[in-house]
Every structure is written in structure tokens, then in C-alpha cells.
Amino acid sequence: MNTLTSVHVETSGDVFKRLNALYRYRELMWMLAWRDIRVRYKHSALGAAWAVMPPLMMMLVFTFVFGTVIGIPSGRLTGDTALPYSLFAFSGLVPWMFFANGMSGAIGSLVSNRALVTKIYFPREVFPLAAIGSAVVDFLIALTVLGGLTLYMHVADNGWSYQLHWTVAYLPLVIVVQLAFMAGLGLALSMANLYYRDVGFLFRSVIQLWMFVTCVVYQLQATAGWKAALIQLNPMTPIIQAYRDCLILGRSPLGLSFFGAAAVSVVLLLVSWWWFRRKEFDFAENI
């Protein structure tokens, strides 16, 4: 009877009880996240350096293509003729790679842990959230490198200097908004991938295009007309811009577009979580 009561509490529609259940399983969530980190870097000579290599290599590629091959003026891409394009691109690629890696892991998390899903009861949200949590480690490492690159560009004689601004204090808020968006999308897509494996394959294709309709490697003002309108509807655009504003440009990220992205993230998280909890008892039959 005690076991049945415990299960009822953990699967209740009450949000606070569900959050309490997730809190009780926080150690399991951490263990799953740590397992993903160890597997990712096992037998790797560079180890955690791979957290920085993808955005760094992409920064070099875009700097070469836009600056040398196409010859687009740096000021048109960054909005500031003094701001080095490499720093501008890297500051967008770091949170974008966090988003891409976290989502890729979250989408396949239920399928890759089918043995646990079908045999043991605990809140199934643990799997996509742990996948996103493992991506946080890489993100923090890359964020540290971004700070080092900013310092290097500051001391280099290139006509640009960095001034530490109080807007850096907004960084935790920007991270929370991105995490909310990732958690909501991760819950929805991980569940959809459980029923239709095409979701994972489709996401790997869409994520490449998604980056180019987000202001990752160029400023929003570099586009116009319907293209700019489409980019502004993308919730990741104000989130990426917010990182640049508070870390590099010394501007407050708080604006209508950022608040809109925050609202979309919260609504998406709540709706996805509600849907996820309603369907979780069907997971074992479809896995």
C-alpha cells in the first residue's frame, strides 16, 4: 500500500509534487549526466578540449569564408567596425553549440535508455534533462574560453578594447531562459522521437538550417524585409543576441524581443511538461 501511495504522489498532476519527485531523483539525473560526459570523452586524447573545438573551428571557417572568400566587410556582419568578427562569431557559436548538443542528446535520451524506461519507475523527465545537463559542462568550458578570447582581443592592437560592464550580471538570466527553452523543446521532441524515429533524423538536418535563420554569425540588421521578420520570430535569435549584449557589447539584453523569447520558453516548457506527464505511462509500449 505504501508503494502505491508513493507512485501516486510522484505521478500526481500537482506541479509541486512532481517537482519534489524530480528533486528526490536529482542524484540519478546527475549520474546519467556524468555518464554521458565520461562516454563522450572516453579514449579521447584531447578530452574536454572537444568542448571548445567545434565552435572554434566553425569560427575559423566563417571568418575565412565571410572575410576572405566572399569579402563581406566585418562591420556589416557585426554592426561595429572595431569589433573583431572572430570574437563576434564565437560569442554566438558557444551558446548555439550548447543548444545543438543539448537538444541532440535530449531527443534520443528515452530511446537510448529503453532498459531503464521499461523496468524501473521514476520521473521520465530525468532522461532529457540529464542530457541537457551534460551539455552544460561543455558550455561552461567554452564560455571560459570565450572570456579568454575576449581578453586576448582586448590586449591585441586591433582598435577594439573591452570594458567590463555591469550587464554581465544578466548572464544567469539569459542562461535560465535558454535552459527553459531547451527543456521544453527537449521534452516534446524526446517523446515524439519515441513514437516516430524520424524526429531524430529530421532534427539533425533542421539544426543545420536553423543556425542560419538565427543571428549566430551575423547581426540582425544585416538582413531586411521578410527575412528579418522570419529571423525575429525565432526564439533563439533574441537569446543569442542577449549573450552578446551582456558579455561583449555591454548592453542590457532586456527588451521586447528577449521578454518574448522568455515567454515562449516558459509556455513551451509548461505545455511540453504537461504533455510528457500525460503520456509517460505509454512509453514502455512504444519504445
Cell of 211: 543556425
Report the pLDDT value the prediction gives residue 139, as an integer from 0 to 100.
94
Look at residue 3 and tell me whether its pLDDT is greater than 70: no
Contact present, 178 and 98 (Cβ < 8 Å)? yes
Cell of 222: 544585416
- What is the number of residues in the chain? 287
Of 48-62, 221-235, 241-255, the range with the highest mean pLDDT is: 241-255
Of 5-14, 214-223, 253-262, the range with the highest mean pLDDT is: 253-262
Q: Which residues of 85-101 are buried (b: 16+ CB within 10 A; e: fewer)?
A: bbbbbbbbbbbbbbbbb
pTM: 0.86
pLDDT digits over 152-202, tens only? 888 886 778 888 889 999 999 999 999 999 999 999 999 988 888 888 889
Work out the end-to-end distance of the chain between its first and last CA atoms, rounded to an integer number of angstroms.
Answer: 29
Look at residue 233 and tell me whether its pLDDT is greater than 90: no
Report CA dihedral (230, 91, 267, 210) to the nearest 10 degrees: 40
Contact present, 50 and 145 (Cβ < 8 Å)? no
Report the pLDDT value the prediction gives residue 224, as an integer from 0 to 100.
61
Residue with cell 591585441: 156
Rounded distance between C-alpha atoms, residue 151 and residue 163, angstroms = 10
Of 94-108, 143-157, 210-224, the range with the highest mean pLDDT is: 94-108
